[in-house]
Structure 1
């Protein structure tokens, strides 16, 4: 099967596609579920209980070898030396100009490091890392085709996993994880409502997916598609690679302070990050906006303040909970402040917007 990862089409093997079709899911061209019913109903299912989504279009790498930690620590923004076997880190791979080549999540495991490359294609991340392997004992394998990734989001997500899998997750810190046989359960909020990812072998995916549907339906858990996930993502203010950030984005423009170690020393792009941090500013900053409208503006719509250009929209969706549009945007330095009031340029005239969060 061919599916889309970021802007690239890659071949993957996802055993859940037939299940999505049987459930009547609306699928996009890459066979990713857009919705199973009304996306707004799916949104509220996550808000009130939990929703389960197939996010197998995310990329996955397994990195092994005795030099894996020192190798990654010299390339990535996070302090990989501090990664525990039951812990996780947000990290990034930059080019020498500190522009983001990949947005990564690392999970320490006894025999290696599992990397969620998200919308950054795993094959491209692998190729970029492989170029730096010279004499190091490091093996980088693209595991995207071997693994399925599902996410359970919502206030009842932990209880749902307990019912379906018999696993207790209380006390698991953000990005912390538990290994259950060949599967990894990660504390990963993608919705602003709390949640978990489950990364598991293809051969176990159908049983786990069906187990959730059979055992947690009475709790209000239901399958959800990418349309509902997009509403929740933007409401929470989480950027996506290839949409809100890309290889032209300087890492500090996107926030990413949870992904950067400012004390560990050298990594690719570190000099630019240090210089920008010392100066104390970048020219633009990713922000979350709320717009007084029901119809989301298109990407690249201009932001203005009293006829002065103030930035541009990167992604937007109507939020049923807010009753208005939530979006991410780049605001020029003078306007990247919580409470800043801006206008979104539209054909029918400007629409009022306010900055609610600086990332």
Structure 2
């Protein structure tokens, strides 16, 4: 188990995941139905982009964890726990009235997990042409019946193949042809990677009482706070407005070699403040690690807590999730690109090209790396290659004038004057179009801003009416302060925000907004005092996000 996990983290690992199944929604109303039932905003997704989300019950509690893949407006695939697939469909059927679509489990599909640093190399060989953005998905040109979904849930580069079960053998053979040292991942290795990656398992790390936002940042990725109605929205919106939950999912770095059992109590002064969920010995981190739910006041990373194990107290350190994480493909791509620029500055053009090629392996649509590689090829006198590279840049970013400008120069060096003039004309046209588009966009933005300001002024009147009835209404005071801040009326925002924290002294989000309004109003010392008090409140409550934001603003005030 440990060796296969480490080997996969160094190269690439493949293994079946029978705990995940695929269900299909097909028909003209498929996507719009799911848009009205689930908390994610599918209308905001670009083609070939999926999203992690959940199905909630009416009180906002977690029922199913999902990955939704809109293949088209008429067909949507959803990954869900195999044992819960039919229950998920039965639940949605209760809300399926007149919408025109059908839904069914697809038992003919198998899910293969694929993780490790060699993943981008293999995907390129398979003909996966999409950038490795979270939940990007698409077919493989060399194996069209299979689908890949990029989902780095294990903490490193990776995702899932959806393959017809009848084609598993030839597909695996194809992979091994591209990566002979492919590591076989069994259930126990995948379980280690799941916990290291900070990914909760439904029914093990969660219960029927778990709220979506108790999952912390993971839960926030599953919901849109700006879309329309869905089941459970009222609770989600109320928790979001309040800015806190009573407990949070966290990671634990546990002292010693003993692995705590599911449900092991976490105590403070002999009182239970949480419990351990999944735990395992991590070969990557060389420690016992676990997932746990902790009261928010004790969930600050770096804090020492104690586990009650066999009558003894075992120390553990609270840690952010994921516990194991390597830079994602885009981060790696930009690092390689910057290294390439450094090589370029030192006239090491061959080395620069190699680094730009590696950068593009991680992010094929990174236009800056394509352009820099073409310039490096020109410096070496490899004009034919530079032309091919600039043509590739025109495919990646067809509206970029620089790609056509450079292509024109390189074609001229080849003596292809007519083609060079054509490329130059394209560059001039795109430059003009860009300038005109920017002017039109600026005008449209000004119109949108005016409309938004008018709407905010109307909402201000509503809050004012509430405050005339009850001057201590916390929601109205906070709402008015936020609207005034959005309107850049920072001095006016201060009083309602002071009222909000006076009435609710533990309202960390209000302290954050108050300090920001004071800072923008150039009342620096008052802003510092508000942020310091807000950090103190957020620390006690375990409100990590507003705490970090206020700490960063305090640092800026001190610099």
What's the TM-score once normalised by structure 1's chain length? 0.84
The aligned runs of 1:148-297 (5 Å cut-off) are 148-163=110-125, 166-169=126-129, 171-180=131-140, 181-217=144-180, 220-255=181-216, 256-297=219-260
In structure 2, what is the equivalent of residue 61 of structure 1?
A: 23
Measured in 1, the distance between the counterparts of 2:189 and 2:283 equals: 10
1:120–1:242 CA contact under 8 A, matched in 2: no
List structure 1 runs of 4+ shifted beyond 4 angstroms.
Answer: none
User: Secondary structure of the residue that 2:3 maps to in structure 1?
Assistant: helix
Structure 2 residue aligned with 1:22:
none
1:211-236 alpha-carbon deviations (Å, 9 max, x no partner): 3234412xx32111121111122112
Q: 5 Å matches for 1:133-144?
A: 133-143=96-106
CA pair 314-287 structure 1, distance change in 2 beyond 3 A: same
CA distance in 2, matches of 1:162, 1:186: 14
> Are the aligned partners of 1:150 and 1:197 in contact in 2 as well (CA < 8 Å)?
yes
* 8 A contact 1:336–1:358 mirrored in 2: no
Distance 2:83 2:36 in 1: 20
Taking structure 1 as reference, are residues 73 and 127 closer, same or farther at Cα in structure 2, changes over 3 Å only? same
* More strand as a share of residues: 1
Worse overlay, 133-142 or 56-65: 56-65
- Judge which range, 296-305 or 182-191, deviates more: 182-191
Per the alignment, residue 90 of structure 2 pairs with 127
8 Å contact from structure 1 (residues 88, 105) kept in 2: yes
Task: Look up the match of 1:88.
Answer: 50
Shift of 1:344: 0.7
> C-alpha displacement at 1:170, in angstroms?
6.3
Q: Is the 8 A contact 1:337 1:358 kept in 2?
A: no
1:329 maps to 2:289: no
Contact 2:21 2:110 in 1 (8 A): no
Q: Aligned pair in 2 of structure 1 residues 120, 105: CA closer, same or farther (>3 Å)?
A: farther
Q: Give secondary structure in 2 for the equivalent of 1:74.
A: helix
* Matches of 1:299 and 1:316, distance apart in 2: 8
Secondary structure of the equivalent of 2:7? helix
> Taking structure 2 as the reference length, what is the TM-score of the superposition?
0.55
Q: CA–CA distance in 2 between the matches of 1:182 and 1:127?
A: 28
Counterpart-to-counterpart distance in 2, 1:171 and 1:65: 28
Question: Is 1:74–2:42 an aligned residue pair?
Answer: no
- Structure 1 CA distance for aligned equivalents of residues 177 and 66 of structure 2: 33
- 1:44 is paired with a residue whose SS is helix
Q: Is 2:261 aligned against 1:298? A: yes
Name the SS for the 1:259 alignment partner: coil
Superposition CA RMSD, Å: 1.7
What's the offset of the Cα at 1:146? 1.1
Q: Is the 8 A contact 1:234 1:327 kept in 2?
A: yes
What does residue 107 of structure 1 align with?
69
Task: Provide the C-alpha distance between the structure 1 equivalents of 2:6 and 2:321, rounded to a whole number of angstroms.
Answer: 26
Number of equivalences:
316
Contact 1:96-1:268 at 8 Å conserved across structures: yes
Structure 2 residues not aligned, in runs of 5+: 323-559
Q: Which structure has greater helix proportion?
A: 2
Given that 2:31 and 2:70 are in contact with CA atoms closer than 8 Å, whether structure 1 keeps it comes out as no
Aligned-partner Cα distance in 1 for 2:250–2:155: 16
Q: Contact between 2:266 and 2:274, CA under 8 Å: does it hold in 1? A: yes
